[in-house]
């Protein structure tokens, strides 16, 4: 699974009608879309996805936010995908993010920051599997 990462256009990105602009940034940066869908997360699904943050002060707000509307998970492929994608989206807090990054351009706050990117190859594999089956990733040819 190395060379892959999971992006999510978060509910604020969808709500602000930014799906097209964000995907353009992603593909212009050289990422290939392996699979994409629009889903509304349940509290259980969002809680499982962000399990590592359980107990932190922002966890409840994060689950509220991530279940507030549909989001768009995208499985991406590129050499050095995880690190390059983190660079493309910028730091968690958009106020501190580099100029031209997706969060700097579009995010409102550290909490509502329009996009997710996996932080390691190991988590990329887990996170891609959270949203996509092997069939959806076109990894087998059975219809």
Say which entry of ligand UDP, Mg ion, none residue 101 contacts (CB below 5 to 8 A, set by partner kind).
Answer: none
Three-state DSSP class for residue 74: strand
Residue 43 binds which of Mg ion, ligand UDP, none (CB < 5-8 A, kind-dependent): none
Q: Which of 8, 12, 116, 132 is catalytic?
A: 116
Residue 101 to residue 91: CA distance in whole angstroms: 9
Q: Does 92 bind ligand UDP (CB under 6 A)?
A: yes
Beta pairing partners, 39: 71
Element (H, E) at 24: helix 19-28
Catalytic residue status for 53: no
* DSSP track, 83-141: HHHHHHH--SSGGGSPTTSHHHHH--SSSS-SEEE-SSHHHHHHHHHHH--TTTTT-S-
Name the binder of 92 from ligand UDP, Mg ion, none, CB < 5-8 A by kind: ligand UDP
- Residue 45, token pair as written in the block: 């699904």
* Among 62, 74, 114, 124, interactor with ligand UDP by CB under 6 A: 62
Q: Tell the residue number behind the tokens 């707000």, with chain if given.
A: 61
81 binds ligand UDP (CB under 6 A): no
CA distance 112 to 92: 9
Site map 62..101 versus Mg ion, x via CB under 5 A: ----------------------------------------
Tell whether residue 116 is a contact of ligand UDP (CB under 6 A). yes
Shortest approach of ligand UDP to residue 135 CB, angstroms?
Answer: 28
Contact between 16 and ligand UDP per CB under 6 A: no
Q: Cβ–Cβ contacts within 10 Å for residue 18, how many?
A: 21
Footprint of Mg ion on this chain (CB under 5 A)?
A: 119
Footprint of ligand UDP on this chain (CB under 6 A)?
A: 53, 58, 61-62, 92, 110-111, 113, 116, 119
Active site residues: 116
């Amino acid at each position: 699974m190395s060379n892959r990462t999971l992006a999510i256009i978060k509910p604020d990105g969808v709500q602000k009608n930014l799906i097209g602009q964000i995907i353009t940034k992603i593909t212009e940066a050289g990422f290939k879309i392996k699979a994409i869908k629009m889903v509304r997360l349940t509290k259980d699904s969002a809680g499982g996805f962000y399990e590592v943050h359980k107990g932190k002060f922002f966890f409840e707000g994060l689950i509220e936010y991530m279940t507030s509307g549909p989001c768009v998970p995208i499985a991406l492929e590129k050499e050095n995908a995880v690190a390059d994608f983190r660079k493309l989206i910028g730091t968690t807090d958009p106020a501190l993010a580099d100029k031209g990054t997706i969060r700097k351009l579009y995010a409102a706050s550290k909490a509502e920051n329009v996009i997710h990117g996996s932080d390691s190859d190991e988590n990329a594999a887990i996170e891609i599997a959270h949203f996509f089956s092997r069939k959806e990733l076109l990894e087998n040819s059975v219809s």
